Amino acid sequence: MPSSQLLAVMDAAVDAVILMDQTGRIQAVNGAGERMFGWPPGELAGRNVGVLMPEAARGAHDGYIARYLQTGVSRIIGIGRELQAQRRDGRAFPAFVSVGRVAGAEPPQFVGFIRDTTAQHEHIADVQHEARRSVDRLMNVSRMATMGEMAAGIAHELNQPLTAIANYARASERFLAMPEPELDEVREAVREIAGEALRAGAIIRRLRELVRGGEEARENTPVARLVEELRLLTLADARMHGVSIRFDLHADAPEVFVHPTQIMQALLNLIRNALESTAGDAAGRREVLVRSRRNDAGDCEIEVCDNGPGVAPEILDRMFDPFLTTKQKGTGLGLPMSRTIAEAHGGSLRHEPVEPRGARFILTLPAAGNVA
Amino acid sequence: MKEKPPVVFIVDDDAGVRSSIRLLLRSVGIAATPLASAAEFLAAFDASQPGCLVLDIRMPSMSGMELQQQLNLRGAIIPVIFITGHGDVPMAVEAMQHGAFDFLQKPFRDQDLIDRIQKALARDRDNRTALLKHDGIRASLESLTPREKEVLELLTQGMQNKVMAAKLGLSQRTVEIHRAHVMEKMGASSVAQLVRMVLDTRDV
């Protein structure tokens, strides 16, 4: 039994202080400990320290002291770690536990210091939640900025079917006004009008899907579908930049478990960078290739490759840093955002130079079955 | 040389736009050849083919502006009507500075396009006639002997036969014979007409 002076010191502590023997039997506990674990005064003494932890952790704990005494290798003694503790009423709470051996005591004696970390955890959760919301907001800003930049291309793309529809309709009018109306031509024109109207609708639908974003859940998605969704929008953008864009979507690319719009956003950033970087080159050499395939690990790789001037050597190390931009009106968020999205999905985004000229960005996403 | 009928070339990478223009022109009896890229047009380009070119200003690979440059380098005279989107006006202005015939913003009124095409075809016809005429005059000029060329030069300066004879060290009779040859070879019925011809070729 500890001296009354020691007990007084223990009682003055804010944290729980528990004195135990080498079998884990509690010899003394301070008032803070009894309150923290919800035990009436005096009832903990004599019990095994295992009653202070959830059942699942008890077995492991029994071994700790014995193993320490046998091997001298410490899991917790002298170190301190974050553990789940349990109150008498069964409620678990996170606690920081450090255990020390009492020097000179024979048989060996151990003292444990336990701090309830519930408040810290709540604070961390708040911070994480806030961080996630900030990322969401940034993603929205980045998405809206992209939309703004793409607006001209999209307007142009919508103008195409509208122009065609107007032409077909006027031609039909003229064919019908002839003394002997050319009905075959009119039939062809009407069929084309319907097709062009659907095409305009498809452009708008794709755009809405991309703008919506954010709220959707992760789902199993074939990568080809994501790229396919982007095809119309990027074609518009490619035309604006006078660049030809090719899609090479391998059927063997596995499904991925993703937030579809986030991945589309990441890809769109990469594709737009590629288009912009090649736009200044001479005619006939401006090309962007988007390829998806299964890599050796069975995961999905989406590659955006251009034959532009490539990434300048002086920014190779920093291109994924936020707010670094080489564009006149860039936000500097495109690449870091794309990498954040890739990593949030358990994937990665990396850059490789292309010989003799150009840049390749490779977005890797774990196959749906490989997601941890 | 037999005159070929004019053709309207439509170069637009958008299948809907180019085939709708083709159908529109067909409805007013104008023959058109739709092409999907600037490269296709260049590959099939025949300087002697009369017609005009309806050209999308924005295209992948080679833009309409770049095709115009290529045509200018080749000394092509085919009139070019640019089709532009919204916000392409600065580009269109540049194209006009490089000799474009006109430009239209998408979507356009059908009659506007038809009117411009008809004007462009008329311009092309005039250009080709003028060129043929020039070519004829040049050929006639080539057929003159060095002495006849001297006489022509002095004639167009309005010099009298007598003065010319003294200046060239010839008899007045010989100058008259040269002069008759010049008039005949050039197919001119008066000195005034002869002067016009020579000035025409110098303008171009």
**Given this model, what pLDDT does residue A75 score?**
66
So where are chain A's domains?
4-116, 125-370
- Is the CB of A244 less than 8 angstroms away from the CB of B61? yes
Least confident of A3-7, A123-127, B93-97, B106-110: A3-7
Spell out which residues of chain A touch residue B86, defining contact as CB-CB under 8 Å. 152, 155-156, 159
Tokens representing residue A180 in the block: 């002997």
Phi/psi for A123 (5° steps) reads -65, -45
**Given this model, what pLDDT does residue B102 score?**
93
pLDDT per position as a tens digit, B132-162: 888 888 888 888 999 998 899 888 888 888 8
> Which residue of chain A comes nearest to B61, CA vs CA?
A284
- Is the CB of B61 less than 8 angstroms away from the CB of A286? yes
Looking at CATH, the fold of the domain delimited by A4-116 is given as Beta-Lactamase (3.30.450)
How far is the C-alpha of A64 from the C-alpha of A53, rounded, in Å?
14
How many other CB atoms sit within 10 Å of the CB of residue A271? 22
Sort B169 into a burial class: Cβ within 10 Å, 0-12 / 13-18 / 19+. exposed
**Given this model, what pLDDT does residue B15 score?**
92
Q: Which residues contact B189 (CB under 8 A, 6 or more apart)?
A: B183
Residues of chain A with pLDDT under 50: none
Peptide bond before residue A356 is cis, with ω within 30 degrees of 0:
yes
**How would residue B20 be classed by pLDDT, with cut points 50, 70 and 90?**
very high
Spell out which residues of chain A touch residue B108, defining contact as CB-CB under 8 Å. 163, 166
Phi/psi for A90 (5° steps) reads 95, -10
Q: Given the structure tokens 């311009």, which residue do they identify?
A: B123
**Given this model, what pLDDT does residue B160 score?**
87
**Given this model, what pLDDT does residue A26 score?**
92
Q: Between residues A153 and B178, which one has the greater pLDDT?
A: B178
Question: For chain B, what percent of residues have pLDDT higher than 90?
Answer: 45
Are B77 and B124 in contact by the 8 Å Cβ rule? The answer is yes
The CATH number of A125-370, from 3.40.50.2300, 3.60.15.10, 3.30.2010.30, 3.30.565.10, is 3.30.565.10
pTM, two decimals, is 0.58
**Given this model, what pLDDT does residue A17 score?**
93
Tokens representing residue B100 in the block: 């474009």
How far is the C-alpha of A347 from the C-alpha of A364, rounded, in Å?
5
Complex ipTM, two decimals?
Answer: 0.73
Phi/psi-derived region of residue A40, left when phi > 0, alpha when psi is between -120 and 50, beta in every other case: beta
CA distances for A217 relative to A91, A220, A345, angstroms: 32, 10, 12
Tokens representing residue B18 in the block: 């180019």
Spell out which residues of chain B touch residue A242, defining contact as CB-CB under 8 Å. 58-61, 63
How far is the C-alpha of B72 from the C-alpha of B98, rounded, in Å?
8
The 8 Å CB, 24+ separation contacts for B140-144 are: B140/B185, B140/B186, B140/B187, B140/B197, B141/B186, B141/B198, B141/B201, B143/B185, B144/B181, B144/B182, B144/B185, B144/B186
> Which residue of chain A comes nearest to B14, CA vs CA?
A160
- All domains in chain B, ordered by first residue: 7-130 (3.40.50.2300), 143-203 (1.10.10.10)
- Is the CB of A152 less than 8 angstroms away from the CB of B66? no
Q: Angle at CA B82, nearest 5°, toward A164 and A280?
A: 105
**Given this model, what pLDDT does residue B204 score?**
45
Q: Between residues A214 and B10, which one has the greater pLDDT?
A: B10
Are A96 and A115 in contact by the 8 Å Cβ rule? The answer is yes
